[in-house]
Structure 1
Amino acid sequence: MELSSKSEYALLALLEMSEAYRKEEPMQIRQIAAMHNIPDRYLEQLLATLRRQGLIRSQRGARGGYLLAKAPWHVTLLDVLDCIEGVDTTPTHPATHSEDLERSVIRAAWQEACQAANTVLENYTLQDLCDRRRSKKQLDIMYYI
């Protein structure tokens, strides 16, 4: 399993919006795109998807842009990946009688791996990413002193 650039860009944009959440400052597409070297048009499409799914909202006007629709501690990584990629979090169907032993063993192992991944993604929020970024920045600053 690998994180797609589509999901990575969406998470980067949401991370920036999470940092601005407490100040209620909208983030503009140009700002986010420049910060993370994301093509404007591509980011615009991703933000439209996030808005349609209710993870972000838009604000019009001269100081307009995009804001989180929910607090960053209420948005899980699974919410984001499900919105962007359409991650299927439901377990696969149980083995049928016609399925051979090898296939059923492989299917059971894969189902267990998917469930473990879902559990991890449900346990991480945008706030957790912000906290990790802050502590990593602190470590980087201390390293250079």
Structure 2
Amino acid sequence: MIEISSKIKYSLLALLQLVKCYEQEEFLQIEQIASSQQIPDRYLGQLLMQLRRCGIVRSQRGVKGGYQLGKAPDQITMLEILTCLEGSGIQEHRDQRESPTMENMMIQEVWQEAAKAAMAVFGGYTLKDLYEKQQERKRLNPMYYI
């Protein structure tokens, strides 16, 4: 089973928060994002800097500064985010001690096929898609507080 790293999870949560403010062209400060998504602000600052270098977010200094999406939510794929944070997703890795047997090559081929399929799925989802899923779930599962 593939586990999602905290780096990816926190980045996606922060980006979903920025999607909410995209239409208003509003900048959000790290503290605002961190408190609403329960993300450690120092860690979030590092993640946002990395996302900024890839053009996924942009920043502005000053009192009204902060972060906002660098482009429209429907133009940012999960694959782009994963590649920005983790590097290229599909890597050919072969242990030098591994003998090039038919079985080892077969396993490597299946692993690569699975990785390509995962990359295709990630490439098919945008931030807009995730945001719409989030909104639909909120609509279907309203929280009631007593």
1:75 has 2:79 as partner:
no
Q: TM-score, normalised by structure 2?
A: 0.89
Offset of 1:7 from its aligned partner?
0.8
SS at structure 2 position matched to 1:35: helix
Q: How do 1:5-24 residues align onto structure 2 when only pairs under 5 Å count?
A: 5-24=6-25
Offset of 1:54 from its aligned partner?
1.1
C-alpha RMSD of the superposition = 1.8
Give the letter aligned to residue 114 of structure 2.
A
Q: How do 1:25-36 residues align onto structure 2 when only pairs under 5 Å count?
A: 25-36=26-37
- Would you tell me which structure has more helix in proportion to its own residues? 1
Q: How do 1:105-144 residues align onto structure 2 when only pairs under 5 Å count?
A: 105-141=106-142
Q: Which residue of 1 aligns with 2:96?
A: none
Give the letter aligned to residue 128 of structure 1.
D
Q: Runs of 4 or more off by more than 4 Å in structure 1?
A: none
Offset of 1:52 from its aligned partner?
1.1
Q: TM-score, normalised by structure 1?
A: 0.89
Gaps of 5+ in 1: none
Gaps of 5+ in 2: 94-98
SS at structure 2 position matched to 1:84: helix
Give a deviation string over 1:125-144, Cα, whole Å, max 9, x none: 00001100110010013x86
Q: Which residue of 1 aligns with 2:44?
A: 43
Give the letter aligned to residue 8 of structure 1.
K
SS at structure 2 position matched to 1:58: strand
Offset of 1:63 from its aligned partner?
1.5
Give the letter aligned to residue 64 of structure 1.
G
SS at structure 1 position matched to 2:31: helix
Count of residue correspondences: 139
Give the letter aligned to residue 73 of structure 1.
D
